[in-house]
């Protein structure tokens, strides 16, 4: 029905569109062009009348130009109309008559304008009152005839469009009334065919809602509703089988939950024992770490002191070397002094010999040499004292040289001893440095061990938390299994059996071992989610 209504509507719209297009192209545009021609003719008539009144050649020239402009408008409009918009032979005859009248009128107007421009006003007046007065109405009547014909054609097209609209409207109204009657009849038939199967489906759904899964309904129809009822019956059978299976699985889940709860309690006790052992181990490692750290600090301090002693020993060795060099310089100077003293002793001996010779010569000279003998005697005395002093100085210098040699020997021994001390100190420094390095490495190793123990402690704490959550999950699973059994027991099928719902054992959650404040351990509580429960079960199984 809707298709018929749509087809009729489209046909009517197509006809109306064609009629409107034909009316617009054939009449409206034609009337527009003819009206432009009519207005231009009337404008020329007004201008020629004004020209007759003015009786001025200049005004006649202006009028001649204005008439030429209006003629151009007339020609353009006529070219747009003729011959493509002619509706038939009769309209062509009317158009040809207008062209003939227009040609005659234009010739008369041109003759009149020529007379006006040539100052022949009397002749112009005669033309205007005779020929022009007769030709103007002919041209205007001819154009008006064309206008009236196209107006009549437009009115006929409008009446035709109205008739087509009324025809389409009546057909659509008739089709709509028929569709309404047919729809009511089909609705009554559908209601009668739908209500009975829906009533059976409703009864089956209500019985299932009351927990009855052994319903038996009679299905006689083979249409879609029969298929639906058979599907509902199959769904009931399948649902009954699923409920029985869920009941059996719920009992199995309840038993498994009991075993999981018992296992998690055992695991909790062992985790607590392990946490206590780790706590004692961590405390011992703290003490060992403190001792090793103190040894490392003492070794570092000893290394520093040994380096200081080594530096001082090196300084002492350098001072001893300088002292040896100074003693060697003193020894060399003493030996030079001894040489000088020996030279003085020889000079005194020679002087004594010379004085002795002088005394002998003075004795030979007698009285003349007495004064010289006195001088020689004094010289011998001086030479003797000089020799005595030189011997004493030589003895002192020899004693000084002996002491310097002994001092040099002692200084050499002291230098050798200092060198041996420096070598020993360097060896001690190396050993103490190795001890310090070993102590630092030992301290770092102990700290790593302590860190590992702390991590083990943290992991043990996390395991305890997981065990606690696993225990809670087991108790929750017990509660959910009991609730599931209770809910499933609501349904009664062909294979229904009495189910005993085990009470949920109340158990306190395992205590988590507390830790000291001297070893902070980060505790991470996982959220109570399905994924955490799976992780807890996996860890319990692995344990």
pLDDT digits (tens, 9 = 90+) for 37-49: 999 999 999 999 8
Q: Compute the average pLDDT of residues 427-455.
A: 77
Q: Of 83-97, 131-145, 500-514, which one has max mean pLDDT?
A: 131-145
Instruction: Say which residues have a Cβ less than 8 Å from residue 443's Cβ, sequence separation at least 6.
Output: 289, 292, 293, 295, 296
Instruction: Say which residues have a Cβ less than 8 Å from residue 156's Cβ, sequence separation at least 6.
Output: none
Q: Rounded CA gap, 345 and 368, in Å?
A: 31
Q: Compute the average pLDDT of residues 23-38.
A: 79
Nearest by Cα to 494 from 241, 171, 298 = 241
Residue 140 has pLDDT above 80, yes or no: yes
The predicted-structure confidence for 203-241, as pLDDT tens digits, reads as follows 778 877 777 767 777 776 677 777 877 787 788 777 777
Question: What are the domain boundaries of the chain?
Answer: 2-186, 233-542
The predicted-structure confidence for 153-181, as pLDDT tens digits, reads as follows 888 877 887 888 888 788 888 888 888 88
Q: Of 67-71, 282-286, 350-354, which one has max mean pLDDT?
A: 67-71
Q: Please count the other Cβ atoms lying within 10 Å of the Cβ belonging to residue 306.
A: 20
* pLDDT at 138 (0 to 100): 93
pLDDT band at 105 (very low <50, low <70, confident <90, very high): very high
Percent of the chain with pLDDT over 70: 81
Residue 222, Cβ density class (10 Å: 0-12 exposed, 13-18 middle, ≥19 buried): exposed
Q: What is the mean pLDDT of the chain?
A: 76
Q: Rounded CA gap, 78 and 34, in Å?
A: 8
> What is the token pair recorded at 151?
């107006």
Q: Rounded CA gap, 336 and 342, in Å?
A: 10
Q: Compute the average pLDDT of residues 279-296.
A: 77
Instruction: Say which residues have a Cβ less than 8 Å from residue 85's Cβ, sequence separation at least 6.
Output: 25, 26, 29, 30, 33
Q: Rounded CA gap, 281 and 446, in Å?
A: 13
Q: Higher model confidence: residue 344 or residue 140?
A: 140
The predicted-structure confidence for 371-385, as pLDDT tens digits, reads as follows 767 777 877 787 777
422, 310 contact by CB (below 8 A)? yes
Residue 503 has pLDDT above 60, yes or no: no
Q: Compute the average pLDDT of residues 123-130.
A: 91
> What's the Rg (C-alpha) of the chain?
74
Q: Domain 233-542 carries which CATH code?
A: 1.10.287.950
Q: Compute the average pLDDT of residues 534-541.
A: 48
Q: How many helices (H) and strands (E) does the chain have?
A: 9, 0
Q: Count CA atoms closer than 13 A to 488's CA, side-chain side.
A: 25
Cα-to-chain-centroid distance, residue 424: 67
The predicted-structure confidence for 320-354, as pLDDT tens digits, reads as follows 677 777 777 777 777 777 778 777 777 877 887 77
String of DSSP letters for 326-338: HHHHHHHHHHHHH
Q: Compute the average pLDDT of residues 53-81.
A: 92
* pLDDT at 525 (0 to 100): 40
Residue 497 has pLDDT above 60, yes or no: no
Residue 281 has pLDDT above 60, yes or no: yes
Q: Domain 2-186 carries which CATH code?
A: 1.20.120.1730
Nearest by Cα to 449 from 282, 200, 298 = 282
* pLDDT at 5 (0 to 100): 61
Q: Higher model confidence: residue 53 or residue 529?
A: 53
String of DSSP letters for 79-104: HHHTTTT--SHHHHHHHHHHHHHHHH
150, 27 contact by CB (below 8 A)? yes
Residue 507 has pLDDT above 50, yes or no: no
Q: Rounded CA gap, 196 and 86, in Å?
A: 72
């Amino acid at each position: 029905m809707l298709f018929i209504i749509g087809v009729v509507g489209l046909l009517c719209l197509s006809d109306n569109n064609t009629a409107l297009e034909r009316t617009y192209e054939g009449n409206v545009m034609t009337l527009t062009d003819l009206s432009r021609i009519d207005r231009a003719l009337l404008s020329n008539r007004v201008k020629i009348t004004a020209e007759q009144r003015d009786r001025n050649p200049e005004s006649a020239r202006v009028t001649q130009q204005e008439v030429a402009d209006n003629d151009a408008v007339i020609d353009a409009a006529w070219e747009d109309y003729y011959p493509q918009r002619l509706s038939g032979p009769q309209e062509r005859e009317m158009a040809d008559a207008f062209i003939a009248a227009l040609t005659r009128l234009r010739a008369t107007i041109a003759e009149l304008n020529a007379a006006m421009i040539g100052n022949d006003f009397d002749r112009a007046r005669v033309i205007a009152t005779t020929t022009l007065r007769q030709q103007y109405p002919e041209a205007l009547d001819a154009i008006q005839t064309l206008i009236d014909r196209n107006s009549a054609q437009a009115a006929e097209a409008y009446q035709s469009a109205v008739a087509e609209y009324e025809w389409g409207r009546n057909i659509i109204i008739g089709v709509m009334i028929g569709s309404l009657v047919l729809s009511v009849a089909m609705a009554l038939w559908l209601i009668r065919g739908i209500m009975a199967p829906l009533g059976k489906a409703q009864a089956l759904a209500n019985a299932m809602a009351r927990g009855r899964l052994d319903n038996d309904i009679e299905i006689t129809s083979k249409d879609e509703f029969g298929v639906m009822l058979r599907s509902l019956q199959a769904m009931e059978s399948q649902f009954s089988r699923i409920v029985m299976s869920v009941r059996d699985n719920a009992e199995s889940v309840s038993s498994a939950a009991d075993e999981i709860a018992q296992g998690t309690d055992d695991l909790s006790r062992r985790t607590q024992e392990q946490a206590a052992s780790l706590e004692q181990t961590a405390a011992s490692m703290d003490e060992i770490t403190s001792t090793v750290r103190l040894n490392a600090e003492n070794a570092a301090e000893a290394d520093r002191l040994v380096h200081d002693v080594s530096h001082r020993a090196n300084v002492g060795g350098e001072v001893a070397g300088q002292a040896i060099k100074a003693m060697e310089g003193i020894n060399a100077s003493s030996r030079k002094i001894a040489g000088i003293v020996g030279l003085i002793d020889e000079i005194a001996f020679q002087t004594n010999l010379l004085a002795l010779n002088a005394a002998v010569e003075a004795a030979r000279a007698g009285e003349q040499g007495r004064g010289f003998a006195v001088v020689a005697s004094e010289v011998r005395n001086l030479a003797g004292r000089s020799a005595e002093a030189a011997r004493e100085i030589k003895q002192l210098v020899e004693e000084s040289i002996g002491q310097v040699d002994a001092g040099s020997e002692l200084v050499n021994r002291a230098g050798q001893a200092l060198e041996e001390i420096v070598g020993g100190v360097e060896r001690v420094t190396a050993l103490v440095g190795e001890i310090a390095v070993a102590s630092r490495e030992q301290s770092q190793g102990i700290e790593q061990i302590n860190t590992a123990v702390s991590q083990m402690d943290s992991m043990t704490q996390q395991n305890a938390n997981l065990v606690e959550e696993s225990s809670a999950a087991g108790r929750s699973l017990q509660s959910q299994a009991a609730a599931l059994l209770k809910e499933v027991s609501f349904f009664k099928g062909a294979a229904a059996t009495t189910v005993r719902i085990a009470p949920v054992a109340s158990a306190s959650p395992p205590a988590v071992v507390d830790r000291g404040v001297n070893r902070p351990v980060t505790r991470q509580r996982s959220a109570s989610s399905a994924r955490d429960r799976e992780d807890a079960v996996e860890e319990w199984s692995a344990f």
